[in-house]
Structure 1
Amino acid sequence: MDDIVKAAMAKWPNVPDCYGWLGLDARGRWWMRDEQVQRAGPFAGPGAHAQSRGSELRHDKLIAFIHRNYGCDGAGQWYFQNGPQRVYVELERLPWVWRLDDEGQVRAHTGQKAQAQHAWVDEDGWLYLQTDLGWGNVHSQDMERAARCLEAGRWPLAELPWQEVLRRSGCVPSPWQARQRA
């Protein structure tokens, strides 16, 4: 976490959390979701559509700031610590999007290296890796590299239904919806 963020948290400790405004898609892209977009529907899952996605963030320094200040609370809800305000993230899939290089090295969408321990495929063909950083989905452009790693026996592979992936990962895909149910 950036020092400036830590200082802001100490200076303003009671800033309310923010829900529904930031989304992460299955390809590691960040989306800003204003009030109109939020009213159009959920970021992902049943009822989601192009109008409820929002505007893709393209500012490299802002994205790098988000990556440095990205974390998870004790309830499995992922957030971006924006100064004193915690901005909870709506996830299309899981909190990590794995990229693979030609040698099969795994990196998160944030740039962090990860060590894959196990691979899982769900009923819709999504490939997930369980790593030392946590659970995430493999980026669609890296499926050929992932297939080579699987063929080489680098990671054990098993089938796992999507709902079980969520349960085992401990991830809450929509903190906003979880808050509404509470």
Structure 2
Amino acid sequence: MDEMVKAALAKWPNVPDCYGWLGLDSRGQWFMRDDRAQACGSFAGLGANEASKGSLLRHDKLIDFIGRNYEADTHGRWFFQNGPQRVYVELEQAPWVWRVDDAGTVQSHTGRAAVIQAVFVDEAGHVLLDTDLGLGLVHTQDVGRVAELIERGQWPEPTELASATLPSRFGFVLSPAEAKQAT
């Protein structure tokens, strides 16, 4: 976490949390979800559509700032610590999106290196990796590369898993906004 973020937390400890305004899609892209986007439906799952995603963030420095300050709380809700305010993230599929190079090096959508522990495939054919950072989806452009690594024996054979079981099995919340409304 950035030092200026830690300082802001110390200076203003009681800023309310923010829900529903930031989303992470299955390609590792961040979306700003204003009132209109949120009114169009969920970010993922039933009710999700292009209008409900919001606006794609394109500002490199903002994207890097979000990535450096992206973490999970003890309840498995992922957030971006924006100064003193915690902005909970709506996840399309998983908290991480992995990029994989030809050597099998894994890096997250935020630029963090990860070490794989297991490979999974869901019923839709999505490839997921459990790593030392947690579970994430392999970027669609890298699925072929993962298949090659498995075929060469460099990575373990994938295990089949139902996508509906992923959040509970791996301890993450797809929609902190919906979870908050349910309590």
Q: Which bracket does the TM-score occupy, shorter chain normalised?
A: over 0.9
TM-score after normalising by structure 1: 0.98
Gaps of 5+ in 2: none
Letter in 2 for 1:38: Q
Write the distance in 2 (CA, Å) between the matches of 1:110 and 1:75.
21
Deviation of the 1:151 alpha carbon = 1.2
Tell me which residue corresponds to 1:28: 28
TM-score, scaled to structure 2: 0.98
Q: Any idea what the Cα deviations from partners look like across 1:19-56, whole Å, max 9, x if unmatched?
A: 00000000000000001110110111011001101000
Alpha-carbon separation, structure 1, partners of 2:163 and 2:41: 21
Structure 2 residue aligned with 1:39 = 39
The answer as to whether partners of 1:116 and 1:155 remain within 8 angstroms in 2 is no
Aligned to 2:123: 123
**Distance in 1 between the 2:130 and 2:52 partners?**
29
Superposed CA RMSD in Å reads 0.7
Deviations, residues 111-168 of structure 1 (Å, cap 9, x unaligned)? 1110111001111111110001100000001011111111123123110111222221
**Structure 1: 5+ residue stretches without partners:** none
Whole-angstrom CA distance in 2 between matches of 1:148 and 1:119: 13
1:101 counterpart residue number: 101
Q: Which aligned runs of 4 or more in structure 1 are off by greater than 3 angstroms?
A: none
Query: Aligned letter for 1:48?
Result: A
The count of residues paired between Structure 1 and Structure 2 equals 182
The separation in 2 between residues aligned to 1:155 and 1:61, in whole angstroms, is: 36
Aligned-partner Cα distance in 2 for 1:76–1:156? 27
CA–CA separation in structure 1 for the residues paired with 2:2 and 2:156: 34
Aligned to 1:114: 114
Identity %: 59
